[in-house]
Structure 1
Amino acid sequence: MNLYRSARAVAGASGTDAIDWQSAADAAKAATDPGSLSLESGEREAYGRDVREAREAVRTVSGVDFDVPETVEIQNRHHWIDANVATFERVMSTLETHTGTFPGVARTVNTGTMTVLLAFLGRNVLGQYDPLLLADGPANDHALYFVRPNILNAAHKLEVDPDRFRRWIAFHEVTHAAEFGAAPWLSDHLERRMEDGIATLSEGSIDREAFRDLDAAMTVVEGYAELLMDLAFDDEYEDLRRKLDQRRQGRGPLQRLVRRLLGLGLKERQYERGKEFFEHIVAVRDLETASLVWTRPENLPTQDELDSPGQWIRRVDP
């Protein structure tokens, strides 16, 4: 980790775009310890086994016929940054023509902001099935990532068995693969709403409807994944969730500020709100009714319906 080299990369941001993405990636990696990829005997096979068994379990409980990427990538933190910078660049492309009155200053500030974002996420992401990876290529071009140093570090700090923790992460990411397998339209829908919101931000205004729609969709994505986890995971995991929550709350003030600025507290709220929505639907109907959210974009619940699941049921399955 070299903070001086990171600062130099940001200060040297150049080009004609609002963000120098190569400098942002270089600076983020310079500020981040990559972590070890020295796999223990049988560890690579264990990752693959967890994913295969998660796929079969989720297929069984959900009734959704989906597949997972043929290649499961075990990454260090620098690999994760490299794998995601192109996705960030594509989603934020609407900023490229809005550099303001002082484009050089704006470019440096924007590049620095993205450096902080990439570095923080690179140090904290455990596993990833990214829906935005699907939006710009064929369906079989998706990827499933596990950031091994972060998984081991989190398991150590939480004082839980690393193999059990890794398996839990695998199940969670595979539930996302099931969702996007059930709804081939979902990745494009999410990316369009995100681009709409970013476009208006770059013009100095806020498309509140786009962000409300995006929040509702992500609440459904996270809530349905939690529902499938409850049904598919072959072990109790409430202790893992509780310890993760305690770890987040116990972070220092600077880390809590960064999480707030990145909207990561919002994601935790999406988990809870989405899970409550689907638990109600399954309690009064069944999983088949809950799965109607994936039939078409119009079946996604509105913000009001997320708080009144009965209203959503009456609309989509009267």
Structure 2
Amino acid sequence: MSLYESVQAVASASGDETVDWDAVARAAKAATDPGRIELSPDDEQAYAADVRAARERIRDVSALSFDVPETVEIQNRHHWIDANVETFRRVVAPLEDQRVAFEDAARTLNTATTAAALAFVSRHVMGQYDPLLLGESDVHRLYFVHPNLLRAADELDVDFPRFRRWIAFHEVTHAAEFGAAPWLDDYLAERVQAGMEAFAEHRFDSEPFRELNRAMTAVEGYAELLMDEAFDDDYDDLRRKLDERRGGGDPITKLFRRLLGFQLKREQYERGRAFFEAVVDARGVEAAGRVWDDPAFLPTEAELENPSAWLARVPESA
């Protein structure tokens, strides 16, 4: 790991695109310790067992029909960076036709900020369900960033196998959501693309981003609720400690979290969870899963604050 090498990679940014993606990957990895990922056969089997157990428990609790992705990877931080560079590239693709003054300087700045974002997230992400938005393939993937899981379990002073299993349950809930809602991929991708195309036309269209935030509030809130309903052990201490971790850190870390939307994600967790708790209290877990039957069943902004309005609008069963 070398900050000098990271700066060198950014300084060498070149090409015709607004971001030099090869330089992004080099710079982000140079600034990030990859972490150790030597796994014994027992370790590998434990991850696989957690995913299988989560799949079966979540199927039973939610009554959703889904399977886990065929691609389940145990990664280090550099692996995660490589896996996500292409996603970042697809998202900003609508901006590639833009030409600005001082193109070389703009490319260097864009490369530096993107690399910094990837490097920061790679040091904090523990698991990721990746639907490969805007990609040409419909193959989804599931990642576990082993060094970050080890570090988080140590910092939180919790048993690693139990913590790993809890994170597996969270990520498999996302597989349940996308599996139960075949329309969800396109719904999210279309709103990302619409927002970025508006930027490319030098205008800001807030509606796609509002719809995206509303959908992600449902995605994250349902996942939070369902993982706790399905998890086969006590989780109160895990929930409390992880919530504290999400809001903690030194001032620089907190600034990065806010700039990268971590605060928004935390609000999605909390707001979405409160909505689904009210739905479950009224009708049960299976009824909450109706949200994935049709995009029209996503809660509106008003319904997120007033779940009874959603309950009145959405029928209990198909």
- TM, length-normalised to structure 1: 0.95
Tell me the equivalent position of 2:194.
196
Aligned to 1:270: 268
CA distance in 1 between counterparts of 2:266 and 2:314 reads: 27
- In the alignment, does 2:197 pair up with 1:208? no
Instruction: Give the CA deviation at 1:198.
Output: 2.2
Distance 1:70 1:248 in 2: 30
The separation in 1 between residues aligned to 2:137 and 2:30, in whole angstroms, is: 33
2:22 corresponds in structure 1 to 22
**CA distance change for structure 1 residues 248 and 180 in 2, over 3 Å: closer, same or farther?**
closer
Contact 1:197–1:207 (8 Å) recurs in 2: yes
- Counterpart residue type for residue 210 of structure 2: R
Cα deviation, 1:89-137, whole Å, max 9, x if unaligned, reads 1122111112422221111111111001110111111001023x16524
Structure 1, residues 138-159: CA drift from partner, whole Å, max 9, x if none?
Answer: 44x2111000000001111111
Change (3 A) 1:301 1:250: closer
Alignment-derived partner of residue 76 in structure 2: 76
Structure 2: give runs of 5+ residues left out of the alignment. none
**Aligned pairs (5 A) from 1:292-307:** 292-307=290-305
CA distance in structure 1 between the partners assigned to 2:172 and 2:136 by the alignment: 20
What amino acid is the match of 1:169?
I
> In the aligned structure 1, how far is the partner of 2:295 from the partner of 2:204?
23
Q: What residue number does 1:250 align with?
A: 248
Task: Report the CA distance between 1:288 and its aligned residue.
Answer: 3.1
Other-structure match for 1:7: 7
Residues 46 and 159 of structure 1: CA distance in aligned 2, closer, same or farther (over 3 Å) = same
Q: Does the CA contact (< 8 Å) of 2:94 and 2:196 recur in 1?
A: yes
Which position in structure 2 is the counterpart of 1:90?
90
Q: Residues of 2 paired with 1:187 and 1:79: CA distance? A: 23
Q: Whole-Å Cα distance in 2 between the matches of residues 16 and 192 of structure 1?
A: 26
Q: Deviations over 1:236-295 (max 9, x none)?
A: 212112212323433111110000000101111101110111111121223333222111
What's the counterpart of residue 280 of structure 2? 282
TM-score, length basis structure 2 = 0.95
Whether 1:101 and 2:101 are equivalent positions in the alignment is yes
Match for residue 53 of structure 2? Answer: 53
**Aligned partners of 2:141 and 2:304: how far apart in 1?**
30
In structure 2, distance between residues paired with 1:109 and 1:280: 45
User: In the TM superposition, what whole-angstrom CA distance separates every residue of 1:31-89 from its partner, at most 9, and x where no partner exists?
Assistant: 00000011145101000000001000001111112111223211100000001111111
SS at match of 1:42: helix
Answer yes or no: is the 8 Å Cα contact 2:25–2:81 preserved in 1.
yes
RMSD, aligned CA: 1.5
| Identity in percent | 59
In the alignment, is the contact (CA less than 8 A) between 2:61 and 2:286 conserved in 1? no
